Structure 1
Amino acid sequence: MPDQPLNVRLRQIRQEAQDVVSLELVAAQGGPLPAFSAGAHIDFLLPGERVRSYSLVNDAAETHRYVVAVLRERDGKGGSTWLHDHPRVGDVLQVRPPVNDFPLSADTAMSVLIGGGIGVTPLMSMVRQLEREGRAWRLHLAARSRQHAVFVDELAALDAGRGLLTLHCGAEDQTRMDMARVVADAPADAHFYCCGPARMIDAFLDASAARPAAQVHIERFAAANEAATAGGFELVLQRSGQRIPVAPGKTILDALLDKGVQVQYACSAGVCGTCMTGVIEGEPDHRDEYLTDEERADNRHIMICCSGSKSPTLVLDL
C-alpha cells in the first residue's frame, strides 16, 4: 500500500548548523527505499501520535537513503525537539513514503531558488537534480549568520566558484536580500521556487506578482491564516452517518480525533495537503495554503487540520 509506513534505520546524525541536525535514514531491512523527486518530503510518525514533515535534501537519484534536516524549534510542539534529543544511530523509526507538493518543473531554461533558513532544505535536492541534468540555476539563501546557514559548504561545492550561490546574512554583514531585485534580474521565462518563513514568502509573492502564476512556486512552513477554532457547527460523516459537534476552541481535526475517527494528517498547519478531505455539503471556511483559489471556490475539498465551516453543518466524505 502506498501509504503504508516504512521502517527506516538511523544511520547517521550530524550537526549541520546552529540548532540544525541532519538525519540519514536507510531501509531497516536493507535494500532500496521508495523513489522520490526533488522537492519531496517524508512524514515522521513520532510518539504521542505526532506527525512531522521534513523535506528530503539528498539527490533524488539515490534510492538507498533519505536525508532530512531538522531545526530545533524552541516554540514548537515538541516534534523537532524529540528528533534532536532522542533518536540514536541504529534506532528504527517510522516514516511515510515520500510525497511531493513542491516539484521542479521539467525542461525550464532557468530556475531561481530562494530559501530562508531551514527553507533551503527542499531546494537542496532541486540544486542536485538541476546540476545532474545540466540545467541552469541560481540560489539566494538568507540566514541570520553563516553559522545558521544550513548546507552552505555543500552548496558552495556545487556552485564550484561560478557565482550561482548568494548568501545573504542580514544580521551579520547587512547583506539583506533585495527580493524585488532578485526577481527583476531573472529572465522572463525563469521559474521561481521559494521556501522560508511567512515574511519571506509574502515579500516574494509581492515581488513576483507580475510574473505568470505557472512560473511561481512556493512552499510554506505554516499557513498565513490562523486556524479556524470558533467551532459551533456540526460534522456529518457521509459514510457512517455519524454526527460530531465541533466545540469552540477545537478544529475539525481535533473533533474527529476526539471521537476516534482515523484520518491522516501531518503538518497541522494547512500547508502539506495530507489531511485533504472531500466535502459533500456545506460551506467550508478555508484557512489553508494548499488549495488554489479556484479549488477553494469550488468547496469540494477542505483541509481539516486548520479550516472550519461557514454553514451550521458540514458533510464530509468520511
Structure 2
Amino acid sequence: MKATLVDLADNQKSKFERELEAWLNENFSALRRVSVWFWSKYHNFPTIKLRWGALPNLFSHLALSASGPAIAYHTAGVLTAKTAGIAFAIVLLVVSICKLIDLWSQRKADRISTPLQTIWVRVGDLLNTVKSGATRKLDQDASIEASLAIATSIAAEVLHAKSDDLSASLVLYEGSGFSKMRLTHRDRGSKRPTGRLIHDIDLLLGHHACQHATHAPRVVGDLRRFGQLGKRSPTQPRANYRSIFFQPVVSSKSDKLMGFISIDCRTPYAFHGARADDLAALLEPIKAHIEDMI
C-alpha cells in the first residue's frame, strides 16, 4: 500500500514537471495547440440571454416576418395558406438567425470596447501622476489593495467575466533569496486569506514564471493540465479557479525581482489570445504603481 502511494505521488510529480517544462518553454505539439484553441472557444463562448424588455423588439420581428406572406395571401391571393405559412417560417428563421449572429458578434469580441479602454488608460495616466514612492508606509497596504481591485475590474471588462469569478493578489519573495514567498495582498473586498507563507515553492507556478527568462506576463490556460499537484492552492485546501494571469514585478527602487501579481479566473482559458495582451497593456500603470511601493 505504501509503495502504491509513493508511485502515485511520483506519477503526479512527473506529470506536473512535464507540463511545467512544456508551459515554460511553450513547447506544445500542433495537436495540443488545436485542442487549446477549441477548448478556449468552448469555455468562453458568449451567451445570449433573453430579457423581458426585449420582447417588443422580438414581436416586431415576428410581425415583419409575417407581413409579406400575410399580404400575399389575403390581398393578392397568389399564395395558399400552406405556402404562406411555409414562407413565413422561412423568413422568420432567416431574420432570427441574422439577429442572433449580430448579438453573438457583439459579445464575442476578445477586445475591450474603445470607450472602456480609454477610461482605463486615463486611470493609468492618473496613477502615473501620483508619486507612489511618497505614499506613507502606513497607507501603502491600502493603496496596493485598491490597485489590485482596479486590476480585477479591468480584467472583468477585458475577459467579459463576472467580478466574482476573478481575484487578484500580490505574492512577494521573502528574505534575501528566492526560496520563500508570501502572499501579502489581495484585491480589496476579497475574503481569501493573506499573509500566508508559501512553503512548497516548487509547486508555485508564479515562482517559475518569475524565474524563467524574461519578466514578461505568462498565462496558465487550465490548471487541470498540471494534474493533481497543479490544483493545489497556496492559501486554500483546493484551488477554485482554472486559469491564471501572472505578471512579475520588479522594485523600482532596487531593480530587484520581488514577486508577481496574479489574476485568477474560474473559467478555463479565460486569458487566451488577444485578451492577455490587452490585459497586460492596461495593467502596466497598476504594475508600475505597485513596483514603486515594494
Classify the TM-score, shorter chain. Answer: under 0.3
Structure with more contact order per residue of length (Cα contacts < 8 Å, sep ≥ 6): 2
Normalising by structure 1, we get a TM-score of 0.21
More helix by share: 2
